[in-house]
Structure 1
Amino acid sequence: MEAGQLNATQIAQQTGVSPATVRAWRRRLRLHGSLEATRAAGPPRRLSDEQIAEVMGLLHVGPDPARFPDQRWTCPRVRELIGQRFDVWYDVDHVSRLLHQWGLSPQKPERRALERQEQAIDTWINARVPALEHLSQ
């Protein structure tokens, strides 16, 4: 240690951190030339850009009506699509995060009563609404 330099214990006492932290700072400064934070890269992506584009195209086409008559993509269905197509099996919860990253948002089907009679509703709207509008004028 050069004259006038503080050791790790002295710096730790002055800054309120452990001596191990000070040693890690010195090592980082020596290796990287800076104490600025760096971003961890994380694991590599499991799907290429081309594969993601293919998945997006398949999602826009919609699910196979023979297999899924309700024509909805659910996370388990998207997981199955990706797994069968590319042999990459994500956790269902992660599929939700991927879809969000790809710009897709969850959609919920509109709830309607089973007893709903579309023809009766259309007839009422076409016959009664003009009459009600006429009364309000």
Structure 2
Amino acid sequence: MTATEHKEHIHKIIYRLAEQGLTQKDIALATGYTQAGISHTLAKIKSANGVENYKVGKPSGRPAKLKRHQRQELKRLLAKGAKANGFPSDGWTRMRIQSFISVRFQVDYSLPHISRLMTRLGYSLKQPQVKDTRQRSEQIAYYETEVIPELKKN
């Protein structure tokens, strides 16, 4: 079901609830719309001479640059990791994603939009973890298992 079909379906439910005698306030509570939204929807249905003739218009706003199948492909490619997609190290940054989308799909996005796109794809922004490269895991394990317990005894 497309977004437009879904919206039409909800609007038909609103109309049926209004026909059953529910108040706009009750319909708003049941559907998650505002009372003003319910009033507006019912007025549009009335001006269309009934729910049978009512059609939701095209969504306003600019069409997405990446089509649905491209966004799905992007999500699949991102899941493989940056290294698998030709970058020297693993880990995605907004700039890497921006350049990857530009090369792969010939679509240019601003960095703030990359953040919004990643959120829509189910990703969250995280600060990179800084790790001291001078640490030696063997030495840390030795201190944690041998030295620190010995110090606690004394």
Alignment TM-score > 0.5, same fold: yes
The 5 A counterparts of 1:15-94 are 33=47, 41-64=60-83, 67-69=87-89, 71-94=90-113
Report the Cα offset of residue 116 of structure 1. 1.8
**Aligned partner of 1:115: which letter?**
R
CA–CA distance in 1 between the matches of 2:148 and 2:79? 37
CA–CA distance in 1 between the matches of 2:134 and 2:149? 25
CA–CA distance in 2 between the matches of 1:103 and 1:127? 44
CA–CA distance in 2 between the matches of 1:129 and 1:54? 50
CA separation of 1:111 and 1:97: change in aligned 2, threshold 3 A = same
User: Percent sequence identity over matched residues?
Assistant: 26
CA–CA distance in 2 between the matches of 1:112 and 1:81? 26
Query: Highest relative contact order (Cα 8 Å, sep 6+), 1 or 2?
Result: 2
In structure 1, list runs of 5 or more residues that go unmatched.
1-28
Report the Cα offset of residue 99 of structure 1. 0.4
CA RMSD of aligned residues (A): 3.0
Question: Comparing both structures, which one devotes a greater share of its residues to helix?
Answer: 2
Question: What TM-score comes out, normalization by structure 1 length?
Answer: 0.60
Which SS does the other structure have where 2:113 is aligned?
Answer: helix
CA separation of 1:74 and 1:43: change in aligned 2, threshold 3 A = same
Report the Cα offset of residue 100 of structure 1. 0.9
The 5 A counterparts of 1:120-131 are 120-128=139-147
**Aligned partner of 2:88: which letter?**
F
Report the Cα offset of residue 131 of structure 1. 5.8
Question: What TM-score comes out, normalization by structure 2 length?
Answer: 0.54
Mean alpha-carbon deviation: is it higher for 93-102 or for 40-49? Answer: 40-49
